[in-house]
Amino acid sequence: MSSLITPPILFFFLGFIAAIFKSNIHIPNDIKKFLSIYLLISIGYKGGFQIYHNGIDTNGILVIIICMLFSFTMPFILYAFLQKWILKVRTDSVLIASSYSSVSAVTFITAINVLVADSVNYDGYMIVALTIMEFPAIIAGTMIYYLFIEKTTKTYQPTVFLNSVKESLLDYSVILLVGSLFIGFLCGDSGNMDMSPLTSSLFKGMLALFLLSMGISAGEQIGILKKAGVKLIAFAILMPIALSLLAILLGSIIHLGEGNTLLLAVLFGGASYIAVPAAMSETVKGGNIGLMVALALVITFVFNISVGIPIYLSILS
């Protein structure tokens, strides 16, 4: 419970409750974008600095490979599962499968904040794992759409597929994480001293403001879930739990350590509500983007930061 009683988490629920009760509280999109840019740069830079000091060992390489394989293969598995047991609309299935095979950077950042508060160490290569997990899911989801949904039509356009891949690779979150990670690695100790006021002192306050805005967004979209149905809402909770437990099992097998294993669990159990919708909205015609975002943000994100992270941390400790 101590993981929940922190300013960032409490500010999230402040925004969430305020939005549910129709408060006029509002954070402009430009400010939300600025806060997300700050958080991505801060996390990426600190990850690069950690790699500068500790390098990437065999476990790090293994984790990166596992995460890439997970992100690419899981959309096919989840698509088949959703089609067989939960959804009839194939376009919605491919969108949700892609989202739940990708990552939530904000959940990851929240987990890092919990680890830092509890003085639990983690390695910089986990930032690399976060970075490379977004675009494989988008590529796989786009492949599913063209292979299983539009294969019998004449609407296939290679340029649309390539544009989705390009958009996923050039998404600002990927560019900022990769770029700041390299900068943190190249600048080493002297650069870390210069950047410390930005990447350390301001971090929790900026995270609190960003989670306040996320809480408002989640509360505003809660009405969309009326269309989801019990099965889909259960999927948005139980599937991330199952995937996170799989990550914990893998972490124990390869001896990742408590901090790295928690972050792996968050990566496996997260769902994208920014990068995947942005990249696939033009590709998947007729898909309910709003439903996908509502599930990932209102159900899975809220569950992970309020219940999931504390549970996984207690299992590991």
The pLDDT profile of the chain, 317 residues, written as one tens digit per residue, is 566 678 999 999 999 999 999 999 999 999 999 999 999 999 999 999 999 998 999 999 999 999 999 999 999 999 999 999 999 899 999 999 999 999 999 999 999 999 998 899 999 999 999 988 988 998 899 889 888 877 655 555 667 667 767 777 788 888 999 999 999 999 999 999 999 988 888 999 999 999 999 999 999 999 999 888 899 999 999 999 999 999 999 999 999 999 999 999 999 999 999 888 888 877 787 789 999 999 999 999 999 999 999 999 999 98
Q: Are 284 and 95 in contact (CB under 8 A)?
A: yes
Question: Could you give the residue ranges of the DSSP H alpha helices within 28-57?
Answer: 29-54
The burial class, CB within 10 Å (0-12 / 13-18 / 19+), for 163 is middle
pLDDT of 154 reads: 53
Phi-psi region of 5 (alpha: psi -120 to 50; beta: other; left: phi over 0): beta
Query: CA angle, 208 as apex, 272 and 232 as ends, to 5°?
Result: 30
Domain segments of the chain: what residues? 7-316
Q: How far apart are CA 241 and CA 235, in angstroms?
A: 10
Q: How far apart are CA 165 and CA 141, in angstroms?
A: 10
CATH code at 7-316 = 1.20.1530.20
Q: Are 44 and 199 in contact (CB under 8 A)?
A: no
pLDDT of 277 reads: 87
pLDDT of 161 reads: 67
